[in-house]
A and B are shown apart, each in its own frame.
Chain A
Amino acid sequence: MCMGTTTCHAPRFRDPRFYQVAVLGLLLCYGIVALDFGIRWQNALAILAAAQFTQFLGTRAAGLSRFDPLSALITSMSLTLLLRTDVIALATLAAVIAIGSKFLIRIRGKHVFNPANAALVSLMLISDKAWVSSGQWGSAAIGALALACLGFMVLTRAKRSETTIAFATTYAVLLVGRALWLEDPLTIPLHQMQNGALLIFAFFMISDPKTSPDARGGRLLFGALVASIAYTIQFIFYEPNGPILALIMSAPFVPLIDAVLQGQLYRWKQPAGNPATQIKGVF
């Protein structure tokens, strides 16, 4: 993505989403080529096309001045990485729900639900033909994935990564606390954290600056809230997909948190001529 110094310093590449596209693209290639973990290229194409088309329609309907394909591309890649289905129509529907929810469900100028998250949960609710395969990354892949994610944060000098940090810390503390209470060996919480879907969730979904609170304190609170709900779903109710369900359940609290804790609304790009504030956050 960022092959030359000149290119990297060009203003349009200051948008952190380019890094995100690069990392997600690498993950997708690795998943398809090396892991063979059930991603169908037909689904990938359907999701990609449907997301861009819906983004285009939404842009027109909302009367926005310019069509921005980047966010829809990132949503497509997250969906492709996490969603499994044998039905292309469902994959297409997922992309439409994801991007559609962004334009339709808005409070105080922000969309409420993370697009990929809304699509995953909707599909799991309406059909038993769609699921999330969270254990398919394998331990070797996890290390590479964790490195890619951390590298991504460093590269983008993440200023909005509080949500990720709060989520990961709270979740880790809960898992280790549970192991200590159960007198389990610590290899168990360590193994529970080595989950590819969990990492993708933490670094590429919950961190979405558009659907997290505007204030720093709010983001910390939000990350901890999602982690607590995820833990409850996964280890008290013993249901799978705890984090993904937790995020959608926590999303309605964001407007409340924003009402209490004021912060600056996130924009992907700041006006030109103000390079110091161009990178406002991770994503």
Chain B
Amino acid sequence: MRMLITVAVVVLTVAITTTAQAFCGFYVARADTSLFNRASQVVLVRDADRTVITMANDFRGAVEDFAVVIPVPTFIERGQINVADRALVEHLDAYTAPRLVEYHDPDPCARYELRKNSQMSDAALPSSVQEGDLAGRSQGVTIEASYTVGEYDILILSASESDGLIEWLKENNYNIPKGAERVVGSYLKQDMRFFVAKVNLAEQSKLGYSYLRPLQVAYESNKFMLPIRLGTLNANGKQELYVYALTRTGRVETTNYRTVKLPSDTEVPEFVQAEFAEFYRDMFARQTIQENERAVFLEYAWDMAWCDPCAADPMSQDELRRLGVFWTADDSNGRFAPSQSPAQNVFVTRLHLRYDREHFPEDLMFQETGDRQNYQGRYIIRHPYKGTTSCDASQYKTSVRDRQEREAQALANLTGWNIDEIRSKIPRIDGITPEPVVTPWWKRIWQ
């Protein structure tokens, strides 16, 4: 049996389908859920020194290979670990995902009230099937508690020496990545502790789940942080990490890395609707490089009570509590009407980073700020009016042509895509003869 150490393994979705009625545009985004490989999603619920962390993963290895060794910032005991419903993380992902919205130009010859539509649909997520195996006996390491939660066998380890823990893991057939001993040793000296979670095949088949559900841990610690160093050890290349912070006061940011807002509210050409996944992936890659690969990107910061436009409904009180939000009222029936419901006192921050050991040498340290300004990754397409016109619409058509050129340039800037290819994909409306756009010869030399 071969097992892997990993910190948190997750399924990721970036942006979800749906169209919702909203005055900030119609939501039309669709992005492939397998947009990024090796992505993890972590929900951090935090108020004062209480934290509930939920870790979801997209582990895609052989079924019997799966096991996670998870560092936690403090001692934990039996009962502080739980298994969550994966739909909770999926809902949070959908609610906070970067979104594409669309507007239709009105008839330039008539006063026209913008008609609004809405439709909602949920993205189907791919699921991965994993199994695990039971551990061997302890040697040099005390197993504080060993019990089964849902489909997981949990072992809480009380090692105080890294070599003891590493030896124990090796003897129990865990494949330890090179360098793990040092990191484990460093964590132990910082009073961090570990637990091991493996899939109990019998329980999994009894429960009927064909995928791994997220693990949750509740603990009290001053450390508002996420240990990422172990995860960089066995990684092939860079990893994607999404952190959703649910707090009472306001936006969460990293204190030891720059937190940068992704460019937003940009108008892009119409064809981006069909290529939103590629657009988003390439834009993120380009922004990452522009920040020297050392930045954490803010993708969403919003009061959980509402959204505009909504990529998905805000989460209900019940869902939030199951994610660990312990300060919301108990008497909610879980129903949600975004425009009427009272503020829930939950502020959500979605952070996205692409990390490796070289660019993110240190664990992520966070702080909660007092900033409650709403921010969302929002991209806009404007459809030109394509109906018949009863007047001379040449002025309108010229403005559309100018706008399309601006959109092409904005898209090229955001993604690094070839401007001529972008231009060739922009449809021209009837009657418009596009002026030949000449790219200066010197611009093409170094492309």
Residues of A participating in the B interface, judged by any CB pair closer than 8 Å: 36-38, 84-86, 127-131, 133-140, 181-185, 187-188, 191-192, 195, 237-240
B259:A135 contact, CB within 8 angstroms = yes
Residues of B whose CB lies within 8 Å of any CB of A are 182, 185-186, 189-190, 221-225, 249-250, 253-259, 261, 291-292, 294-295, 361-362, 365, 367, 369-373
Q: Are B256 and A130 in contact (CB under 8 A)?
A: no
Residues of chain B with a CB closer than 8 A to A133's CB: 253, 369
**Given contacts A187-B361, A188-B361, A191-B361, are A239 and B222 in contact (CB under 8 A)?**
yes
Are B189 and A182 in contact, CB atoms less than 8 angstroms apart? yes
Contacts known (A185-B361, A191-B361, A238-B222); A86 close to B258, Cβ less than 8 A: no
Is the Cβ of B256 less than 8 Å from the Cβ of A139? no
16 A-B interface contacts by CB (under 8 A):
A85-B370, A86-B372, A127-B370, A131-B371, A133-B253, A135-B258, A138-B258, A138-B295, A139-B292, A181-B189, A182-B185, A182-B189, A185-B361, A187-B361, A191-B361, A192-B256
4 additional A-B pairs beyond A137-B258, A238-B221, A238-B222, beta carbons within 8 Å, are A84-B369, A86-B371, A183-B186, A185-B361
Pick from A36, A128, A137, A184: contact of B186, CB below 8 A.
A184
Q: Are B362 and A188 in contact (CB under 8 A)?
A: yes
Which residue of the partner chain, among B182, B261, B365, B371, contacts A183 with CB atoms under 8 Å?
B182
How many angstroms between the C-alpha atoms of A187 and B229 in the bound complex? 13
A84 to B182, CA, bound (A): 38
Q: How many A-B residue pairs have CB under 8 A?
A: 75
B187 CB to nearest chain A CB (Å): 9
Contacts of A128 in B (CB 8 A): 249-250, 370
Instruction: Please name all residues of chain A whose beta carbon is closer than 8 Å to the beta carbon of B365 when the two chains form the complex.
Output: 240
Docked pose: A184 CA to B162 CA in angstroms = 13
A219 to B75, CA, bound (A): 41
Q: Chain A's nearest CB lies how many Å from the CB of B327?
A: 14
Q: Indicate the member of B185, B224, B365, B373 with the most A CB atoms within 10 Å.
A: B365
Report B287 CB to chain A, min CB distance, Å.
13
3 nearest A-B residue pairs (beta carbon): A129-B370, A182-B186, A187-B361
One of B294, B369, B373 near A139 (C-beta < 8 A): B294
Residues of B within 8 A of A240 (CB): 255, 365, 367
Provide the bound-state CA to CA distance between A192 and B372, in Å. 28
List B contacts of A238 (CB < 8 A): 221-225
Task: Give bound CA distance, A195 to B225, whole Å.
Answer: 17
Closest-by-CB residue of B relative to A137 is: B258
| Contact assessment for B255 and A135 in the assembled complex, using a CB-CB cutoff below 8 Å | yes
Q: Closest B-chain residue to A131, C-beta based? A: B369
B253 is contacted by which of A129, A135, A185, A237 (Cβ under 8 Å)? A135
Residues of B within 8 A of A182 (CB): 185-186, 189-190
Whether the pair A136, B370 counts as a contact (CB closer than 8 A) is no
Separation of A240 and B225 alpha carbons in the complex (Å): 11
Interfacial chain B residues near A139, Cβ < 8 Å: 258, 292, 294
Q: In the complex, which of the residues B221, B292, B369 contacts A140, with contact meaning CB atoms closer than 8 Å?
A: B292
Q: Considering residues B253, B370, B372, which has the most beta carbons from chain A within 10 angstroms of its beta carbon? A: B370
Q: Identify B373's interface contact among A86, A183, A188, CB under 8 A.
A: A86
Check A237–B258 contact: CB distance below 8 A: no
Residue in A131, A134, A135 whose beta carbon sits within 8 Å of that of B370 in the complex: A131
Give A145 to B142 CA distance when docked, in angstroms: 49
A133 to B259, CA, bound (A): 10
Return B322 CB to nearest CB of chain A, in Å. Answer: 26
Contacts of B258 in A (CB 8 A): 37, 135-139
Q: Of B224, B255, B371, which is in contact with the most chain A CB atoms at under 10 Å from its CB?
A: B255
**What residues on A are CB-neighbors of B294 within 8 Å?**
138-139
CB <8 Å contact, A134 and B255: yes
Q: Which residues of A contact B253 (CB under 8 A)?
A: 133, 135-136
A31 to chain B minimum Cβ distance, whole angstroms, is 12
**Chain A residues with CB under 8 A of B291:** 138
> How far is it, in angstroms, between the C-alpha of A38 and the C-alpha of B369 when the chains are bound?
12
Specify which chain B residues have a CB less than 8 angstroms from the CB of A187 in the assembled complex. 361
Q: Among B292, B362, B373, which residue has its beta carbon within 8 angstroms of that of A191?
A: B362
CA distance A84 to B295 in the complex (A): 19
B367, closest chain A residue (CB): A240
Give the complex CA separation of A181 and B261 in angstroms.
36
Give the shortest distance, in Å, between B365 (CB) and chain A (any CB): 7
Could you say which residues of chain A place their CB within 8 Å of the CB of B367? 131, 240
A65 CB to nearest B CB, Å: 41
